[in-house]
Chains A and B, each alone.
Chain A
Amino acid sequence: MIKRIPALLAAIAALVSFGGAAQAQSFFEGKTVRIVVGLGAGGGFDTYARVIGRHLGKHIPGNPTVIVDNMPGAGSILMTNHLFKVAKPDGLTVGHFNGAIILGQVLGQKGIEFDARKFEYLGAAVKENVVCGLTKASGAGSIESWRAAKAPVKLGGVAPGATPDNSGRILNAALGLPVQVVSGYKGTSAIRLAAESGELAGGCWSWESMRATWRKGLDSGEVIPVVQIVAKPMADIPNVPLAISLAKTDDARKLILVGVQNSSAFARPFALPPGTPRDRVDMLHKAFHATLQDPAFLAEAQKAKLSIDPVTGAEMNKLVADVFTLDAGLLAKLKDALYQK
């Protein structure tokens, strides 16, 4: 333990190291790869990037140094614009942003100056499997009692376009569940707190995160997973109904698919700027997915309770491209569901 202190001091005080072999065997040798996170230090996106960043270097030929930076702003639009327009496509910059803005681009969200179809995706470490958790105290602890609720059931939201907001609104539009999304909470932790104090009935966000942070409520039965907006049930809650199977019409199913379910795979993308040389993209893609299987990485991820459920670059490319081919009618319905009062 104590021997780490000098190492730390050395790292902090470390001055110039004019490294760099004259003849690099691989492009990446002696270089520094930056993972730029579009959200603040300490958050979920940041943590995934940092844990991956610690192991990524050893899987890239030439073993470059990998560091993680934050460029927060505008819900990661700022960084994503930067990735598209400014960052050099040399394979040394990897962006990590909130994939919700991809749907935002399709729906004409303001401030977006990138084209999500042009990024070179490395994929994702995890999908966002949305589950709605409601408190027992709210009286809407099952689909039946929720449907029968007299007043709209209040679900916490962050801002239009965010996962908790989209999920609540889609449930309302597709399944006709009485829902009032109260938007403006500063993240799912604030929603959780408001639900515990009785201000809200609950909220919908990634099951992995809910399971970890709301453990006690779920174990004690104070908080109940009522519906899951995923393709197949999560392993530990096999009996909680799927939103898609509650849908009665084809339109409703499509809304659930496009509005929540399909976006789960590109919710947390890692991407390279457009025009990055093919061989470097391939090298990084291979390294990224090798990292996700690296036992040392998995041990750290497990310690941090980060679940790993990889999405490949090819899968992501396809899902992103699909969003851009929606027909106008569905698009209008989606926009209506997600952004109208």
Chain B
Amino acid sequence: MLAEMAGAFASGLYQVFTPGTLGLMLVGIALGFAVGILPGLGGPTTLALMLPFIFTMQPAEAFAFLLGMAAVTATTGDITSILFGVPGEPTTASTIMDGHPMAKKGEAGRALGAALMSSLVGAIFGALALALAIPVVRPLVLAFGSPEYFMLAVLGLTFVAALAGDNLLKGLVAAGIGLMFATVGLDPISGAQRYTFGQLFLWDGIGLVPITIGFFAIPEIIDLAVQRTAIARANLGRLGGVMEGVKDTFRHRWLVLRCSAIGAYVGIIPGMGGSVTQWLAYAHAVQSSPGRERFGKGAVEGVLGPGAANNSTLGGHLIPTIAFGVPSGVTMAILLGAFIIQGLVPGPSMLTPESRGGHLGLTFSFVWTIVIANIVTVAICFLFLNQLAKVTQVRGSLLIPPVLLLIYLGAFAEKNAFEDLYLVLFFGVLGWVMEKLHWPRPPLILGLVLGPLAENRLFLSTDNYGMEWLMRPWVLVMIALTLAGAFYPLLKAWMRSREAPSAPRKSAAPRANPNTLFTLILVLALAAALWQSRDFGPRAGLFPWVIGFPVLALAALQLVLELAGKEQRAAMFVPEPGPGIPAPELRRRTAAILGWIVGYPAVIWLLGFTLGGTLCTLLLLKLGSRERWPVSLAMTAGVAAFIYGVFGQALHVPFPPGQAFAWFAG
């Protein structure tokens, strides 16, 4: 048995190292590299677009190509998150939290070094976890039923406390709002439509891609446009910190390994992908590191944790896909399609050596692909880091048009749905307001992702077991862990407040400011949501009620605190005044960029993606930032070729025709 495993392990390596396979893997890596770096375009979307190409490949080639691509997006996505504050991938949003502040402080090199090195460690850990799991995976996964999955989702929610930053109350409200957003859509069981406003595109809920893009990228674009500087506010100086970041990875090796483990093992659970594990890892980094007030301001641990976790997730993700044919996320669902096309049936045969008619060698080639792809990528990244980091010195006015284009392209291409652009706008504005008013955004994302999983598994648990599921041993263990996880931070916060009660709370005069206005809107929105839910019926209504009422109470409490002047920070609704920018000018610039952000999709709607995107690029460059003609025209031409050539002609993305043409056509 052991000899067979070793043989398959070697055969997997051999399969990867045939010239054709290796070549296709490198093509995949190159694609994944670009997709990861480009914001908006996500790994799953690209995988779907690449499916047609694998028909003529051999299995080992096809998976080297697809996995090579998937394996590196999380690594290069970190780069964009750190340098631009715009998530390169939805799974690298958490790297922004501390990576981007580091870049602003001039520590981009160190942050990149840390992200790349931890990514490599994470990827190898995930691949090893996959390799080691192969013999034991079936009993392991079969021991878990719906109740255990439900408890895992609940356990994940306790991480909100660590993600809430310095204001637990706001964090809880944000998580609750995320959970409420998670209920949007058709409840498939009762057929009740929750908060869909009669829109079919909302039936399947709010997609994670448009939310993440809007939530994190739009605020950064606004900031960039208002400040009118390059990304790096301070001079980048030397990028020499790269090795420092690599050393950080080894300095915090246990944190990196723990976060790798979080990524790999949480990734096994269907419904929990990199979009969850990154935040759990980030929260773990915050909780386990000394001085949590350093986080959000450029703590290197906040880069290492998610950097490792979003990479190790892939290995964990593959486990149920290979062993059971159960995809644990969108990426895996597409990969499952690749299995079918290749005539492979995931399941026990993937874990049986070739000598007995299985495909174990192929399975091990996946492990090797992940490892090799990441080594290649990280090596390439280190070679080009200096060039990459220079992008942050490019003036913002040249970055904004292509980034906006990619955001809207990416949002559309995920489901070929134009409506997702509206979601980007909505969550962009929400994210911007939350950022300005110091509401923590990560808890909202966590609630949004874990909500559907929790609801689905709760009903499956009660339908299958009645109330008896509460007595299952693993459930009891996890209930204990959840309670500990929930109360420990509360206790700690309480201790802290007793130790340092002197913090003089600036009792600002009780008056309505933008802060209270936003909280008031939240309270009203929650109340309206609850009012709407009155006729959902018990099945579809349970979740909105169980979440809605406490969150409404918490939001109301926050409002009262603010009205009473207990809110320490009198946050201003305008960006922090930059050096020498007067307030009226700030307001004018903010209004201008908001106009561009909203106008862009409107023009696309009117003229279609190719023409609209091209026109907007030109207008933004000429009218928006008065770039010179040669620069503007060259960039516009590049954009037009990119949309039309790559997306329209090569990938056949079905862009909707412009509305204006429909009018003229009659």
Q: Which residues of A contact B (CB under 8 A)?
A: 1-2, 4-5, 8-9, 11-17, 32, 34, 36, 40-44, 46-47, 50-51, 54, 67-75, 77-78, 81, 109-111, 154, 158-160, 180, 182-186, 189-190, 192-194, 196-200, 212-213, 215-216, 300, 303-306
Give the chain B neighbours of A54 by CB distance below 8 A: 52, 55
Which B residues touch A42, using CB under 8 A? 48, 51, 327, 333-338
What CA separation (Å) do A304 and B51 show in the bound complex? Answer: 14
Q: Would A72 and B641 be within 8 Å (CB), given that A54-B55, A160-B188, A215-B347 are in contact?
A: no
Whether A305 touches B203, Cβ cut-off 8 Å, given contacts A1-B18, A13-B650, A193-B141, is: no
B419-436 near A? 1/0 per residue, CB < 8 Å: 000000000000000000
- Which residue, of B51, B270, B271, has the highest number of chain A Cβ atoms within 10 A? B51
Task: Tell me which residues across on chain A come within 8 A of B271, comparing CB atoms.
Answer: 186
From known contacts A11-B650, A42-B336, A197-B144, infer whether A183 and B188 are also in contact, taking CB-CB under 8 Å: yes
On whether the beta carbons of B415 and A213 are closer than 8 Å, the reply is no
B142 touches A196 (CB 8 A): yes
Contacts of B55 in A (CB 8 A): 50-51, 54, 300
Is B348 touching A303 in the complex (CB atoms < 8 A)?
Answer: no
User: Knowing that A17-B649, A54-B55, A304-B342 are A-B contacts, what are 8 other residue pairs whose CB atoms are under 8 Å apart, sorted by A's residue number?
Assistant: A4-B57, A5-B27, A40-B334, A51-B55, A70-B48, A70-B416, A186-B271, A193-B326
Instruction: Output the least CB separation between A145 and chain B (Å).
Output: 20
Given the interface pairs A11-B650, A78-B203, the reply to whether A305 lies near B340 with Cβ below 8 Å is: yes
Query: When the two chains form the complex, which single residue of B57, B146, B650 contacts A194, counting CB atoms closer than 8 Å?
Result: B146
Cα distance A186–B141 in the bound complex, in angstroms: 16
CA distance A1 to B347 in the complex (A): 28
**Nearest neighbor of B203 in chain A, beta-carbon distance:** A74
CA–CA, A201 and B631, complex, Å: 66
Please judge, given known A-B contacts A4-B57, A183-B189, whether A69 and B343 are in contact too, CB under 8 Å: no
B645 at the interface (CB under 8 A from A): yes
Q: Are B415's CB and A304's CB within 8 A?
A: no
Chain B residues whose CB sits within 8 angstroms of the CB of A69 once the complex forms? 416, 652, 654
Establish whether residues B347 and A304, one from each chain, have CB atoms under 8 Å apart when the complex forms. no
> How many angstroms between the C-alpha atoms of A14 and B642 in the bound complex?
11
Knowing A42-B48, A304-B340, the reply to whether A199 touches B347 (Cβ < 8 A) is no
A150 to chain B, nearest CB (A): 15
How many residues on B have C-beta within 8 angstroms of the other chain's C-beta atoms? 73
CB distance from A222 to the nearest CB of B (A): 11
Select B464's contact among A16, A182, A212, beta carbons within 8 Å. Answer: A182
Question: Closest CB-CB distance, A75 to chain B, in whole Å?
Answer: 8
Assuming the contacts A15-B641, A70-B415, asked whether A41 and B334 have C-beta atoms less than 8 A apart, the reply is: yes
Chain A CB within 10 A, most for which of B340, B347, B460: B340
Judge whether B53 is part of the interface by a CB distance below 8 angstroms.
yes
List B residues 8-29 near A (Cβ within 8 Å): 18-21, 23-24, 27
> A71–B343 Cα gap in the complex (Å)?
25
- Chain B, 358-372, CB within 8 A of any chain A CB: none
Chain A nearest CB, measured from B51 CB (Å): 6
B532 touches A (CB below 8 Å): no
A192 to B325, CA, bound (A): 9
Residue contact A216 to B349, C-beta cutoff 8 Å: yes
B57 adjacent to A184 (CB under 8 Å):
no
B652 neighbours in A (Cβ, 8 Å): 32, 34, 67, 69
Chain A neighbourhood of B52, CB < 8 A: 50, 54, 67-68
Q: Which of B401-422 contact A (CB under 8 A)?
A: 415-417
Query: Which among A67, A81, A184 has the highest number of chain B CB atoms within 10 Å?
Result: A184
A-B contact pairs, 30 of them (CB 8 A): A1-B58, A12-B646, A14-B645, A36-B654, A40-B48, A41-B47, A41-B334, A42-B335, A42-B336, A42-B337, A46-B337, A51-B341, A69-B416, A70-B48, A73-B200, A73-B203, A73-B415, A73-B417, A74-B186, A75-B188, A78-B200, A110-B193, A183-B188, A184-B460, A193-B141, A196-B142, A198-B145, A216-B347, A300-B55, A304-B341
Evaluate whether A158 and B415 lie within 8 angstroms (CB atoms) in the complex, with A11-B53, A17-B649, A77-B200 already known: no
Give the CA-CA distance A50 to B337 in the complex, in Å: 10
**CB of A210 to closest CB in B, whole Å:** 12
Asked if A199 contacts B145 (CB within 8 A), the reply is yes
Asked whether A305 lies within 8 Å of B343 as measured between CB atoms, the reply is: yes
Chain A residues within an 8 Å CB radius of B651? 12
B502 contacts the other chain (Cβ, under 8 Å)? no
What chain B residues lie within 8 Å of A9 (beta carbons)?
27
Also in contact, A43 and B333, with CB within 8 A (given A16-B649, A68-B52): yes
Q: Provide the residues of chain A in CB contact with B646, threshold 8 Å.
A: 12-13, 15
Residues on A with C-beta less than 8 A from B23 are 1-2, 5
| Residues of chain A contacted by B27 (CB below 8 angstroms) | 5, 8-9
Residues of B contacting A305 in the complex (Cβ-Cβ under 8 angstroms)? 340, 343, 345
CA distance A183 to B464 in the complex (A): 10
How far, in Å, is B465 (CB) from chain A's closest CB?
8
Asked if residues B460 and A185 are in contact (CB atoms below 8 Å), the reply is: yes
B298-342 near A? 1/0 per residue, CB < 8 Å:
000000000000000000000010001111001001111110111
Chain B positions 628-663 with a Cβ under 8 Å from a chain A Cβ: 641, 644-646, 649-652, 654
Q: How far is the CB of A29 from chain B (nearest CB, A)?
A: 18
Q: B58 to chain A: which residues have CB within 8 Å? A: 1
Check A197 against B650 for contact (C-beta < 8 Å): no
Point out the residue from A8, A17, A306 that lies within 8 Å of B53, measured CB to CB. A8
Q: In the complex, what residues of B have CB within 8 A of residue A12's CB?
A: 31, 53, 646, 650-651
Compute how far the CA of A11 lies from the CA of B646 in the bound complex, rounded to whole angstroms: 9
Q: Does B576 contact A (CB under 8 A)?
A: no
Closest residue on chain B to residue A191 by CB atoms = B326
A68 neighbours in B (Cβ, 8 Å): 52
In the assembled complex, the Cα of A5 lies from the Cα of B61 at a distance in Å of: 11
CA distance A72 to B207 in the complex (A): 12
Tell me if B143 counts as interface (CB < 8 A to partner A).
yes
Please tell me if B459 contacts chain A, counting CB pairs below 8 Å. Answer: yes
Option from A14, A184, A189 in Cβ contact (under 8 Å) with B650: A14
Q: Which residue of B lies closest to A78 (CB)?
A: B200
- Among the listed A5, A13, A186, A303, which residue makes an inter-chain contact with B343, where contact means beta carbons less than 8 Å apart? A303
A160 touching B340, Cβ below 8 Å: no
State the CA gap A44–B345 with chains docked (Å).
13
Q: Which residue of A lies closest to B51 (CB)?
A: A41
In the assembled complex, B204 has its CB within 8 A of some CB on chain A: yes
Best-buried of A75, A199, A213, A300 by chain B (most CB within 10 Å): A199
How far in angstroms is the closest Cβ of chain B from A35? 11
A47 to B337, CA, bound (A): 7
Query: Which listed residue, A15, A47, A184, touches B459 by the CB 8 Å rule?
Result: A184
A36 to B53, CA, bound (A): 18
Interface residue B191 (Cβ < 8 Å from any Cβ of A): yes
Checking B204, B324, B463 against A184 with a beta-carbon cut-off of 8 angstroms, the contacting residue is B463
* A215 partner residues in chain B, CB cutoff 8 A: 345, 347, 349
